[in-house]
């Protein structure tokens, strides 16, 4: 099969950074198919990049090399990880980006073998100098064991991804984790969760008590109506039909969300 490498970064698309990573990869592994998951992670937002990669990677072919570079510690002593998990390979800084992806069963290695880097690796663009060439070598058949020593999965840096909690009356309390380009408010309340005790959830409240009616799809709401839908990531999302929930409610990531019973 054609090797597949994905890229998730905060480099944006106005400079040469993302394109240079493509060039380095293709120079080492010309048969690779490089797929950009996104280069528009908010700058230095490790958790955002981790959630985005967690939502995307299961839809790629087995053996895909997922390369994520949101790296405020570039040039410092932070490590670089290569990990095998679920039939895929993940390459990222050891800064918590893989927290929501790697389980305790993952095989994790610290990338230390400089022979797989560009010959003149600098201290500001490890996406070009380390991550891109290492990803290309892995896609070309280099074993993870050749990259450096094994690391126990519980020894890597992990971020705490907050979970929704249940109150005594069955209400689930979570928060907005992301706001997408449409202004939809993505929460951390699982879509299969119900706010009712043994029944069907009735409404989602957000932003000072604003109530969003639960619908099966956007088309079930009226233009301008605040609704809650089970989003593509498997979590409840608050949306405005043909509009922006962010603008209508005036909240950002971190705002409390309540899934209540009928």
Q: What is the DSSP code string of 68-82?
A: EE--TTTTSS--EEE
The C-alpha R_g of the chain, in whole angstroms, comes to 21
The predicted pLDDT at position 99 comes to 94
Please report the pLDDT score of residue 198 as a whole number. Answer: 42
pLDDT of 202: 76
120: which DSSP letter? T
State the average pLDDT for the chain.
Answer: 93
Q: What is the mean pLDDT of residues 128-139?
A: 98
Q: How far apart are CA 142 and CA 160, in angstroms?
A: 32
Give me the residue spans of the domains in the chain.
4-155, 165-261
Q: Cα dist. 16→11, 65, 125 in Å?
A: 9, 22, 11
Percent of the chain topping pLDDT 70 = 97
From CA 185, how far away is CA 168, in angstroms rounded? 25
In this predicted model, what pLDDT tens digit does every residue of 146-160 receive, in sequence order? 999 999 999 999 998
**Strand arrangement, sheet containing 150-151:** 33-38, 4-9, 65-69, 88-93, 80-85, 107-110, 150-151
Buried b / exposed e over 55-82, threshold 16 CB at 10 Å, is: bbbeebeeebbbbbbbbeebeeeebbbb
For the domain spanning 4-155, the CATH number is 3.40.50.10790
- Give yes or no for a contact between 62 and 123, defined as CB atoms under 8 angstroms apart: no
pTM for the full model?
0.91
Q: What is the mean pLDDT of residues 74-93?
A: 96
**Per-residue pLDDT reduced to its tens digit, 198-255:** 445 578 999 778 999 999 999 999 999 999 999 999 999 999 999 999 999 999 999 9
Residues 187-209: pLDDT tens digits? Answer: 999 988 754 444 455 789 997 78
pLDDT at 162: 85
Contacts of 181 (CB under 8 A, 6+ apart): none
- Residues 161-189: what's their mean pLDDT? 92
CATH topology for 165-261? Answer: Elongation Factor Tu (Ef-tu); domain 3 (2.40.30)
């Amino acid at each position: 099969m054609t090797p597949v490498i994905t890229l998730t970064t905060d480099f944006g698309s106005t400079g040469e950074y993302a394109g240079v990573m493509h060039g380095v990869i293709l120079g080492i592994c010309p048969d690779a198919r490089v797929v950009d998951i996104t280069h528009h992670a908010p700058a230095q937002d490790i958790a955002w990049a981790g959630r985005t990669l967690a939502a995307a990677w299961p839809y790629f072919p087995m053996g895909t090399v997922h390369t994520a570079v949101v790296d405020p510690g570039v040039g410092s002593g932070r490590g670089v990880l290569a990990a095998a998990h679920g039939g895929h390979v993940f390459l990222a800084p050891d800064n918590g980006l893989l927290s929501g992806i790697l389980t305790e069963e993952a095989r994790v290695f610290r990338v230390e073998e400089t022979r797989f880097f560009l010959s003149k690796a600098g201290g500001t663009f490890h996406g070009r100098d380390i991550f891109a060439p290492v990803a290309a070598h892995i896609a070309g058949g280099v074993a993870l064991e050749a990259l450096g020593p094994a690391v126990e999965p519980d020894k890597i840096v992990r971020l705490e991804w907050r979970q929704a909690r249940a109150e005594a009356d069955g209400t689930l309390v979570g928060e907005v984790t992301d706001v997408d380009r449409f202004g939809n408010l993505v929460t951390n309340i699982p879509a299969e969760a119900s706010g009712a005790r043994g029944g069907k959830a009735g409404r989602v409240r957000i932003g000072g008590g604003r109530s969003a009616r639960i619908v099966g799809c956007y088309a079930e709401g009226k233009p301008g109506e605040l609704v809650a839908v089970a989003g593509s990531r498997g979590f409840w999302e608050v949306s405005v039909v043909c509009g922006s929930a962010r603008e209508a409610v005036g909240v950002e990531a971190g705002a409390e969300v309540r899934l209540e019973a009928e």
